[in-house]
Amino acid sequence: MSLPHATKVLVIGYVWPEPRSSAASGHVMQILERFLQQGWDITFSSPAGVGEHKADLAALGIHECPIELNNSSFDTFISQLAPDIVLFDQFMMEEQFGWRVEKHCPDALRVLETSDLQSLRHARHQRLKDRLKTSADDNDFSDLFAPALREEFELMAGTDLAKREIAALYRCDLNLMISPVEIELLVQQFKLPRELLHWCPLMPDIPATGHTPFENRAHFLSIGNFRHAPNWDAVLWMKNALWPLIRQQLPGAQLHLYGAYTPPKATALHNPAQGFHVMNWAEDALQVMSAARICLAPLRFGAGIKGKIVDAMLCGTPTVTTPIGAEGMHAGEPWPGVIGESAEALAAAAVALYQDQTLWTQAQQQGDQLLAARYRRSEHGPALIECLQACRRNLTQRRRDNFTGAMLRHHAHKSTQYMAQWIEAKNRHGESSTSDTRG
């Protein structure tokens, strides 16, 4: 009698994970760690190049296998691997490889890990750009921060990106959503069946030890990958509007900005005379966060939930942010810091928290409470595994019930398949022509 094989999981990543560079990669790693705890056999593949901060997956026991876009070598690879579950990291990977997975491993559960709803983030970015074109006011952005879900839908619905992303969500058997706000947007406005969506927030390893005390901390801190557009916009708003207001009230204040892949345009903002320090990449984000007194996250657009704010709570560092920064993160729990809608309000809150130890300690305690209430790995990890196993048991019925997804797969995957095959043939022809010329 043969023993049942370990569940095989193939993860197709948009990039190779860099958990110390982005919250999205951190979330992927948390999911992988949960799979490893189940004893599952994991292979991670990506068509992307390897970044300088890539996680050592092999050291964790995860197989690594580079793959290529528009190349039938993937068909052989996945047929031989025969995974039970395929996890697409971001919807573009489902677009590229979903039809190949369905063709060669039709019984594999297809899961999409969204990180954030990209079409929502891009629509909000466009709304900010339009606002900046029509108004010179660099202070109050309250009109951007509290739209109803219907308004968000109307911003997104006409965009090609939303049509592509929502279609990918329908085509998958299950979608992992990091923000409950995005779940409600998809269910109420885009009419996705709720059973296609599973809330899977960040699942940090919450430390049992205490935090660095108020009197042993100094300076303000902001952290985030500079390649991520919301982070770069926040840096510019801090430089031009928020930080000058803080320095008026705290002339000796310093802001330390950390981020992976610091571009020259960011380095050019470095100005010690103004207390504005661009510090490049942080080797240990939690260490620098624990040394800071206040985390600034003045995000004017974005989606998902914010890894930098979870890190701040882990370190007991109060956060001053906007409604965009806090969205989907605290439900009815008190916010561990202050939420403001203008540069003036954010600056006033940051100064008050920086100087008032009582306020600061209260915010720190609220961060501990929020982590325990909404981000416990011991709760969300098992819930994820249970959901995946239930989906596998009922896969035939789930697919029958999701007729819209089946219809989209039928049409979109055919066109994607023919396009991919055409590109592959074109590439082969180009290589052959090059070879003939060189010969």
Q: Is the pLDDT score of 217 beyond 90?
A: yes
Q: Looking at the domain assignment, is residue 413 inside a domain? A: yes
Stretch 206-215: mean pLDDT, rounded? 91
Average pLDDT, the chain: 92
At residue 413, the pLDDT reads: 61
193 and 246 share one domain: no
Does 193 fall in a domain? Answer: yes
Q: 357, 375, 393: which is the final residue of a domain? A: 375
pTM comes to 0.91
155 contacts 123 by C-beta, under 8 angstroms: yes
Q: Are residue 116 and residue 250 in the same domain, yes or no?
A: no
Domains of the chain: total: 2
193 dihedral zone (left: phi>0; alpha: psi -120 to 50; beta): beta
Same domain, 258 and 388: no
Between 251 and 3, the more confident residue is: 251
- Mean pLDDT on 21-28: 88
Domain identity same for 302 and 413: no
- Checking if the pLDDT of 21 tops 50, the result is yes
Confidence of residue 422 (pLDDT cuts 50, 70, 90): low
- 209 lies in a domain? no
335, 271: one domain? yes
Q: Residue 436 has what pLDDT?
A: 45
Asked if 163 and 190 count as a contact pair (C-beta separation under 8 A), the reply is no
Average pLDDT over every residue of 213-241: 94
CA-to-CA distance for 123 and 109, rounded, in angstroms? Answer: 30
Q: What span, in angstroms and rounded, lies between the C-alpha atoms of 335 and 293? A: 16
Q: How many angstroms separate the first and last alpha carbons of the chain?
A: 57
Regarding whether 71 and 33 lie in a shared domain, the answer is yes
| 160 shares its domain with 186 | yes
Span of 144-153, 302-311, 342-351 with lowest mean pLDDT: 144-153
User: If you ran DSSP here, which 8-state letter would residue 213 be given?
Assistant: P
- pLDDT, residue 23, reads 85
- Regarding whether 283 and 242 lie in a shared domain, the answer is yes
Question: Per the domain annotation, does 141 fall within a domain?
Answer: no
More confident residue, 323 or 415: 323
Q: What is the pLDDT of residue 1?
A: 42
Residue 23 lies in a domain: yes
Residues 222 and 154 in one domain: no
For residues 279-299, give the mean pLDDT: 93
Decide if pLDDT at 364 tops 50.
yes
Under DSSP, is residue 69 helix (H, G, I), strand (E, B) or coil? Answer: coil
Report, as an integer, the average pLDDT of 247-263.
Answer: 93
Co-location of 299 and 171 in the same domain: no
The residue ranges of DSSP E strands in 67-124, in sequence order, are: 85-89, 109-113
- Mean pLDDT for 174-194 is 97
Lowest mean pLDDT among 75-84, 128-137, 392-401: 128-137
Is 19's pLDDT higher than 50?
yes
Q: Domain check: are 170 and 52 in the same one?
A: yes
Does residue 130 sit within a domain? Answer: no
Of the residues 375, 392, 420, which one is the last residue of a structural domain? 375
pLDDT at 429: 63
Residue-wise pLDDT for 233-244, tens only, equals 999 999 999 999
> What's the pLDDT score for residue 434?
45
DSSP state of 109: E
- Which one is predicted more confidently, 20 or 48? 48
Tens-digit pLDDT profile for residues 81-103: 999 999 999 999 999 999 999 99
Q: Where are the beta strands (DSSP E) in 210-285?
A: 220-223, 255-258, 276-278
Both 275 and 311 in a single domain? yes
- Residue 138 belongs to some domain of the structure: no
- The CATH number given to whatever domain includes residue 295 is 3.40.50.2000
Is 437 contained in some domain? no
pLDDT attached to residue 125: 96
For residue 24, the enclosing domain spans 8-120+146-203+378-430
